[in-house]
Amino acid sequence: MIDAAEIIRSRTSILFVTLDSLRYDTARTAYDTGLTPHLATLLPDGGWERRQTPGTFTLPAHMAFFSGFLPKLPQPDQPPRLWECRPPAFKTVPPQTFVFDAPNLPAGLAQHGYRSICVGGVTYFSRETPLGSVLPDLFDEDHWSPEFCSPEPDSTRHQVDRAVEIADQYDGKPLYLFVNVSATHVPHGHYLGDSHDSRASQQAALAYADTHLARLITTLTTQHRWLIILCADHGDAYGEDGYHGRGIAHPVVMNVPYAAMIR
């Protein structure tokens, strides 16, 4: 079990990656059939856990994540949360959970000497609109450019290049480095040479991102220990039961891949 209190008291940097819209079944099949060989060497034994997201689209899912609510196991019994914002006095927090006296995780980590950095992907991180500034505003600094966004076929390379560059710049300071990977968000049909988005093209997008995500993790962890959390914010429907897209409580949207490890 990951001891978040030990991580934070020892000022261990934290990498939090959301693979936007990545369905659990897509990630699981890619892992099982060897389409993500680089990530497979880095993920815990067995690969992705199936978890359920607290939000059906990017905004509520990330608001929950940044408030301390990560995806939960699809079962009644849950392990203690890694961290949470200080609850009202009547609620008991398990001793394994690290409590921040702050309204969100970046602000809480700042009280412990961390710098929070957002490398955005989809337009909820782009600052192109007032709503697109809500999530980036939670961080000490945020980065976004059109080449980080899903229409760009080499988006993950550009995002990882920027993330590595920033981490290098703050070498020695504890970081909360967040990256929203946009490649798995529509449009991704172009990874199969098609204008049509499908589960198969999302899988091809993940296979594309595999090398770059592994490069991010191995580069960061060459000299220092990091806590790494990878998950999707929500899934995406491609016609199951007639549904398309996200923002709906369908199992293909609610079930997400999740992995947490110390490297």
Spatial distance between the Cα atoms of 170 and 71, rounded to a whole number of angstroms: 29
Return phi, psi of residue 75, to 5°.
-155, 160
* Choice between 20 and 49, CB closer to Zn ion: 20
* Choice between 116 and 180, CB closer to Zn ion: 180
Nearest residue to Zn ion, scored by beta-carbon proximity = 58
* Choice between 13 and 156, CB closer to Zn ion: 156
What residues between 40 and 99 interact with Zn ion by CB under 5 A?
58
**Nearest distance, CB of residue 231 and Zn ion, angstroms:** 11
**Nearest distance, CB of residue 125 and Zn ion, angstroms:** 10
What type of residue is 74? P
Query: Sign of the CA dihedral 192, 197, 178, 51?
Result: negative
Spatial distance between the Cα atoms of 196 and 3, rounded to a whole number of angstroms: 43
Q: Give Cα separations from 60 to 14, 64, 159, 234 (angstroms).
A: 21, 6, 23, 10
Closest CA to 124 of 206, 202, 187, 63: 63
- Asked if 258 and 48 touch (Cβ cutoff 8 Å), the reply is yes
Q: Which stretch binds Zn ion (CB under 5 A): 76-84, 127-135, 168-176, 230-238?
A: 230-238
Spatial distance between the Cα atoms of 18 and 30, rounded to a whole number of angstroms: 17
**Nearest distance, CB of residue 19 and Zn ion, angstroms:** 9
Total residues at the site for Zn ion (CB under 5 A)?
3
**Nearest distance, CB of residue 133 and Zn ion, angstroms:** 16
**Nearest distance, CB of residue 17 and Zn ion, angstroms:** 13
Q: Is residue 233 close enough to count as binding Zn ion by CB under 5 A?
A: yes
* Choice between 197 and 233, CB closer to Zn ion: 233
* Choice between 4 and 205, CB closer to Zn ion: 205
* Choice between 58 and 123, CB closer to Zn ion: 58
**Nearest distance, CB of residue 252 and Zn ion, angstroms:** 14
* Choice between 116 and 123, CB closer to Zn ion: 123
Which two tokens mark 85? 């914002």
In DSSP terms, which residues pair with 227 in a beta bridge?
Answer: 14, 262
Q: Which stretch binds Zn ion (CB under 5 A): 15-23, 27-35, 80-88, 249-257?
A: 15-23
* Choice between 1 and 249, CB closer to Zn ion: 249
**Nearest distance, CB of residue 84 and Zn ion, angstroms:** 23
Return phi, psi of residue 210, to 5°.
-50, -55
Q: At what angle do helices 155-169 and 199-220 cross, to 10 degrees?
A: 20
Which two tokens mark 188? 């991704």
**Nearest distance, CB of residue 121 and Zn ion, angstroms:** 9
Which two tokens mark 14? 């934290």
Which x/- pattern over 118-137 shows residues binding Zn ion (rule: CB under 5 A)?
A: --------------------
- Asked if 183 and 190 touch (Cβ cutoff 8 Å), the reply is no
Interaction site with Zn ion (CB under 5 A): 20, 58, 233
